[in-house]
């Protein structure tokens, strides 16, 4: 009678064991590793691509602002409020509180507002190096209604503003990866809104968009640091992710730490 060699029996048993082990492993619900970030964002360079933005003649409009200290100081985009006869923050419905334009940056698309209406500030991280491919979140009032968008960092650009004023500044460019359900078309009205990183800290503010290319442009963290460091206030944070940034945005708007800013031109 033919006898099967012992080595062959052991080989078959080992093959069955490894096959079962592999099958079980393939069906386990293990968490996916986080996506790897790209290289650190390079320093400003003359070769950075230009983004040309045309600023129209002053008209009444809306944008977004957010609290940056406990004393009633708010931050928004320069182009939202620089030529307004009156500026207000919407508290709720048709109720507004009047604010003053305290300072307009000459080198960046930012403006400081002061109000008797005081809200807790948003946490910010303006010193850590940013990385290509990192996730960002942009909260505010696109098209005049509550909404938000998400994007991944593409790199650095230089924004050249032309029209009612002229300026040149380094900005960050993001490719849009998500937005509020039902929000289509332009993100106009989101200007001045905070840009958050995944730690839930402010790293910029929305300055411009390119709807055709799906791009969002934000003021660079370094520019904010030059304006805001003397006002910095420590506050607690919560991570921000694709599955919760809408909820976080609603929470910030309900607490009025992010508010709609209204510009009136006579």
Separation between Cα atoms, residue 152 and residue 37, nearest integer Å: 10
- 230 pLDDT band (50/70/90 cuts)? low
Does position 253 have pLDDT exceeding 60, yes or no?
Answer: yes
pLDDT, residue 36, reads 60
- 6 pLDDT band (50/70/90 cuts)? very low
How distant, in Å, are the alpha carbons of 4, 7, 10, 12, 88 from that of 1?
Answer: 10, 18, 20, 20, 98
- 233 pLDDT band (50/70/90 cuts)? low
CA atoms within 13 A on the CB side of 32: 3
Q: What is the pTM of this model?
A: 0.84
- Give the model confidence (pLDDT) of 78-108 as tens digits: 999 999 999 999 998 889 999 999 999 999 9
Residue ranges and CATH numbers for the domains of the chain are: 50-264 (2.40.10.120)
pLDDT, residue 2, reads 36
Does position 4 have pLDDT exceeding 90, yes or no?
Answer: no
**The two structure tokens encoding residue 83:** 């030529």
Q: Taking residues 244-264, report their average pLDDT.
A: 96
Q: Taking residues 196-215, report their average pLDDT.
A: 95
Does position 42 have pLDDT exceeding 60, yes or no?
Answer: yes
- 25 pLDDT band (50/70/90 cuts)? very low
What is the percent of the chain where pLDDT is above 70?
A: 84
Averaged pLDDT score across all residues of the chain:
86
């Amino acid at each position: 009678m033919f006898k099967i060699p012992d080595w062959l029996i052991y080989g078959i048993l080992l093959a069955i064991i490894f096959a079962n082990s592999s099958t079980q492993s393939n069906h386990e619900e293990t968490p996916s590793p986080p996506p790897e970030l790209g290289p650190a964002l390079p320093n400003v360079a003359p070769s950075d691509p230009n983004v040309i933005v045309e600023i129209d003649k002053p008209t009444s409009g809306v944008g977004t602002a957010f609290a940056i200290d406990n004393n009633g100081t708010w931050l928004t985009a320069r182009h939202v409020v620089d030529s307004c006869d009156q500026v207000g923050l919407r508290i709720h419905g048709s109720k507004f509180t009047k604010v003053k334009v305290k300072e307009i940056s000459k080198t960046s698309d930012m403006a400081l507002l002061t109000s008797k209406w005081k809200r807790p500030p948003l946490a910010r991280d303006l010193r850590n190096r940013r990385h290509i491919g990192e996730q960002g979140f942009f909260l505010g009032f696109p098209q005049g209604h509550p909404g938000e968008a998400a994007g991944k960092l593409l790199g650095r650009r230089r924004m050249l503003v032309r029209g009612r004023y002229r300026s040149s500044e380094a900005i960050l460019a993001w490719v849009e990866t998500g937005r509020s359900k039902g929000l289509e078309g332009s993100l106009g009205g989101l200007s001045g809104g905070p840009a958050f990183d995944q730690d839930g800290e402010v790293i910029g503010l929305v300055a411009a968009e390119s709807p055709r290319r799906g791009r969002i442009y934000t003021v660079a963290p370094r520019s904010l640091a030059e304006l805001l460091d003397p006002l910095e206030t420590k506050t607690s944070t919560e991570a921000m992710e694709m599955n919760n940034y809408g909820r976080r945005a609603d929470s910030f708007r309900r607490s009025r730490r992010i508010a709609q800013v209204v510009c009136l031109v006579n």
